[in-house]
């Protein structure tokens, strides 16, 4: 049976019930380091992915000042989808939808304005298979972190550095 995935924009609108669902998703799948404040992290969720009403994936974004890029502010993008539901194209779709939501949000900000999306790729399979300099989502490879993980960035339209 083909999963029926639904994607919902919850950026800046994580209710207490949704927060509980998100934390339950992370806890039941052992996804967060115990040192991470799961309640605070849940407030950073941008998109939820559900299958038959149950969260099976999500994207989130936090503010980060990135020293290597002139100390500019970026949204640190994170994404997780349960392995059994990683359908072809789901990752790209989630990146693009999250990117567009955050770009629209950033455009309206007057303080602490982020200039783009930044991600550190951790999935070994993704690292091995998606080694194009520029992904279809327009995320560009800019180097590796100290642990050797690829770093990718997308600058919002019209940004000046």
DSSP 9-73: E-TT---HHHHHHHHHHHHHTT-S-TTS-HHHHHTTEEEEEEETTEEEEEEEEEEEEEGGGTTEE
Whether the CB-CB separation of 137 and 96 falls below 8 Å is answered with yes
User: For 30-59, what is the mean pLDDT?
Assistant: 94
Q: Does the pLDDT value for residue 160 go beyond 80? A: yes
Query: Which of 35, 37, 36, 29 has its CA nearest to residue 58?
Result: 29
Residue 27, C-beta contacts closer than 8 angstroms, at least 6 positions apart: 38
Helix (H, G, I), strand (E, B) or coil at 100: helix
- The per-residue pLDDT for 156 is 96
Structural tokens at position 148: 């050797």
Whether the CB-CB separation of 61 and 102 falls below 8 Å is answered with yes
Q: Does the pLDDT value for residue 3 go beyond 80? A: no
- The per-residue pLDDT for 112 is 83
Which position has the token pair 């550095």? 161
DSSP 155: E
- The per-residue pLDDT for 1 is 64
Out of 71-75, 95-99, 130-134, 147-151, pick the least confident. Answer: 130-134
DSSP 102-145: HHHHHHT-SSS---EEEEE---HHHHHH---SB-TT--EEEEE-
Out of 17-26, 29-38, 49-58, pick the least confident. Answer: 29-38
| pLDDT tens per residue across span 96-147 | 999 999 999 999 998 889 999 999 998 878 888 888 999 988 999 999 999 9
For the entire predicted model, the pTM comes to 0.92
Domains of the chain: 5-155 (3.40.630.30)
pLDDT band at 14 (very low <50, low <70, confident <90, very high): very high
């Amino acid at each position: 049976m083909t999963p029926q995935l639904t994607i919902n924009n919850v950026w800046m609108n994580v209710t207490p019930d949704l927060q509980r669902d998100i934390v339950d998703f992370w806890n039941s799948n052992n996804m967060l380091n115990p040192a991470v404040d799961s309640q605070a992290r849940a407030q950073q969720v941008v998109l939820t992915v559900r299958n038959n009403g149950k969260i099976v994936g999500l994207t989130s974004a936090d503010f980060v000042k990135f020293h290597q890029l002139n100390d500019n502010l970026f949204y640190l993008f994170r994404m997780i989808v349960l392995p059994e539901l990683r359908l072809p194209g789901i990752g790209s779709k989630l990146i693009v939808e999250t990117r567009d939501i955050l770009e629209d949000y950033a455009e309206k900000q007057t303080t602490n304005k982020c200039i783009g999306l930044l991600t550190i790729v951790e999935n070994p399979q993704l690292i091995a298979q998606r080694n194009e300099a520029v992904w279809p989502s327009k995320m560009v490879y800019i180097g590796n972190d100290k642990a050797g993980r690829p770093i990718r960035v997308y600058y919002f339209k019209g940004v000046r550095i």
